[in-house]
Structure 1
Amino acid sequence: MSALFKPMRIFIVAVMIFVTANVAKAEDAVQVDSAKDAVLQAVHTWLQLVDREKYSESWEGASAYFKAAVTQEDWTHSLSAVRKPLGNTLMRKLTVSEFLTELPGAPDGNYLVVLYETVFQNKQHAVETVTFMQEADGHWRVSGYFIK
């Protein structure tokens, strides 16, 4: 009798390992999605500052890496020169959001790169790229912003 049950036990153990591995993968995916949602909320909040022309405040909420690269005065002046001619933001659609650990010209770390298709009052087709990085204190802050 035990010879009959041995293959069945092996099969059941294999199924349990498969199910456990897939449940762990699903839980990891949920954790990644939850983490991404939290960072995307921070990105959205930061973009609202930019949309409302609160450029100094957007700099204040930036990462130390960002602040070391550009002064508050230069950021405010540059962003105003780029954004004001575009007019109000009429529509912004998330197209890509990806966690990365390496970016060209930046230190290794945890990043979320987000791309939006954006329609401005005076520019119908734009792509905004917002990069957030996780700092040593665990908080995610902007480390890059580009409009194409």
Structure 2
Amino acid sequence: MFRKLLILMMLWPFSVLASSGSSTQSALDWLKLVDDSQYQQSWIESSSLFQEQVSEQTWLGAMNSIRAPLAKVNSRKKISEEEMQSPPNVPAGEYVVFQFKTSFANKDDAIETVTVVKQDMQWRVVGYFIK
């Protein structure tokens, strides 16, 4: 019994890293859609909560007026990652908030914040902001 418990304890950090990695990859995959101006697909791939809060037309309009003028991504570096369990004012669940320092062709120094939520065993974007 002790041996099984020890093995589980040794594997636990790897499962946390795998979970975190998949959330990171989901955020990056979603950002790639936005980078490629696939705004409709980015809305489709977002969480149901996101879709309930932001209509597809509103999202397309916002991306065309705010994100498109920034143009091509020159670089993007993750600068923070914060896991949250059931934060206030949102439905209960697992969330991860990422911040990226991003350089665009038309804006050198931006901070992108991407929040993902675990929905149906997959990480999906629930929030996106550019500052």
Report if TM-score (shorter chain) is over 0.5.
Answer: yes
CA distance in 2, matches of 1:78, 1:104: 26
Whose relative contact order is higher, 1 or 2, with alpha carbons under 8 Å and at least 6 apart?
A: 2
Q: How many residues align?
A: 129
TM-score (normalised: structure 1): 0.80
Instruction: Call closer, same or farther: CA 1:101–1:91 in 2, change over 3 Å.
Output: same
Instruction: Call closer, same or farther: CA 1:120–1:104 in 2, change over 3 Å.
Output: farther
Of the two, which has the highest radius of gyration? 1
Cα RMSD (Å): 2.0
Structure 1: gaps (5+ residues): 1-15
CA distance in 2, matches of 1:32, 1:117: 24
Greater share of helix residues, 1 or 2? 1
Structure 2: gaps (5+ residues): none
Does residue 128 of structure 1 match 2:123?
no
Q: Any residues of structure 2 matched to 1:41-120 within 5 Å, and which?
A: 41-120=25-104
Moved more, 34-43 or 63-72: 34-43
Q: CA deviation at 1:70?
A: 0.8
Greater share of strand residues, 1 or 2? 2
3-state SS in 2 of match to 1:107: coil
Q: Percent identity?
A: 34
Match of 1:145 in 2: 128
